[in-house]
Structure 1
Amino acid sequence: MTTYKRPVSVLVVVYTSNLDVLLLERADYPGYWQSVTGSCEPGEDLRDTAIREVSEETGLDALQYALSDWQSQNVYEIYPHWRHRYPPGVTHNTEHVFGLQLPHRVDVQLAPGEHLNFEWLPWQDAANKVFSPSNRAAILQLPVLAQRPVK
């Protein structure tokens, strides 16, 4: 039986109190940088997905830091070369945006096979480096969104 991904995912912008942003370089597309992302598992709520993906991709325990749901969603077309991962006929994904504030830059433990490198950059530089338009938009909103109370 084929197990398909759900077309619901999270984007977690990991950042410091100084608004430095953690970026991860994709293993399957070297040179493509992004924040933490991942699809929801069946029966998993969005917050739990964000916590799991942060742990899997960086080794960080999101519960030790300030994780907040930015109450923002993006609907985007799934790249054709990734559509086989989703049920037949599914062409769009809904991405839910979270922020994870750390007190300062930390080294992370990358998921083998998923990411090649990590880098901390000032938010403006991080926004310019990511390949995803929705990731860029989230980072550009960081100065305002980081001021919201944690939910």
Structure 2
Amino acid sequence: MTNTPRPPKIPESVLVIIHTPALEVLLIERADAPGFWQSVTGSKDRPDESLVETCVREVAEETGIQLGAPGIPPGALRDWGLSNVYEIYPRWRHRYAPGVTHNTEHVFGLCVPAGTPVTLSPREHTAHAWLPWREAADRCFSPSNAEAVLQLPRLAAGPPA
């Protein structure tokens, strides 16, 4: 059996801040970069995949949390109307087409009940933690992730975007 090369990643992704009503934030530690804590992130699988579809897929793949499960209605996922364009870390550029150096990241929030179980994808993440939002922001390795977490109190309280 031969390994089929993966197609290049699409440089458009989502960042999903998973939080409880009390503003505790779920962070997950990357398997390929110990000490790098983050929220759920992931690129579109195909150009026509909607951002919401990307969020739902990535949240399920990385945490086992299913939108539509009891206590997690589809409306719990909210587009925060924020996006970031950032330079892709050199260590991960090989995943993209040659010459691609920047990614556009769209920020969403997902409110889940306290005590929501988390099942990590061991290929992607090795640990998880529920942290108060300020502590979570301090632990994020990505500046855009930290900034999004700092927006949580304001955006979680507002009307859906």
TM-score of the two chains, using structure 2 as the length reference: 0.90
Alpha carbons of structure 1 residues 2 and 27: separation in structure 2 relative to 1, 3 Å: closer
- What is the letter of the counterpart of residue 134 of structure 1? S
Question: How many angstroms apart in 1 are the aligned matches of 2:142 and 2:92?
Answer: 15
Instruction: Tell me whether 1:18 sits opposite 2:22 in the alignment.
Output: yes
Spell out structure 1 runs of 4+ moving beyond 6 A. none
Greater Rg over alpha carbons, structure: 2
TM-score of the two chains, using structure 1 as the length reference: 0.96
Q: What pairs with 1:98-137 in structure 2 (closer than 5 Å)? A: 98-137=108-147
Percent identity over the alignment?
Answer: 58
Within the candidate set 25, 28, 46, 2:51 is matched to: 46
Q: CA deviation at 1:2?
A: 5.4
- Listed one character per residue, the Cα deviations across residues 33-80 of structure 1 (whole Å, up to 9, x for unaligned) are 000000001121101000000000000112342000001000000011
Q: What pairs with 1:1-151 in structure 2 (closer than 5 Å)? A: 3-42=7-46, 43-64=48-69, 65=72, 66-150=76-160
- What is the letter of the counterpart of residue 30 of structure 2? R
Q: Which has the higher strand share?
A: 1
Unaligned 5+ residue runs, structure 1? none
SS in structure 1 of the partner of residue 53 of structure 2: helix
Unaligned 5+ residue runs, structure 2? none
Native 8 Å contact 2:23 2:152 kept in 1: yes
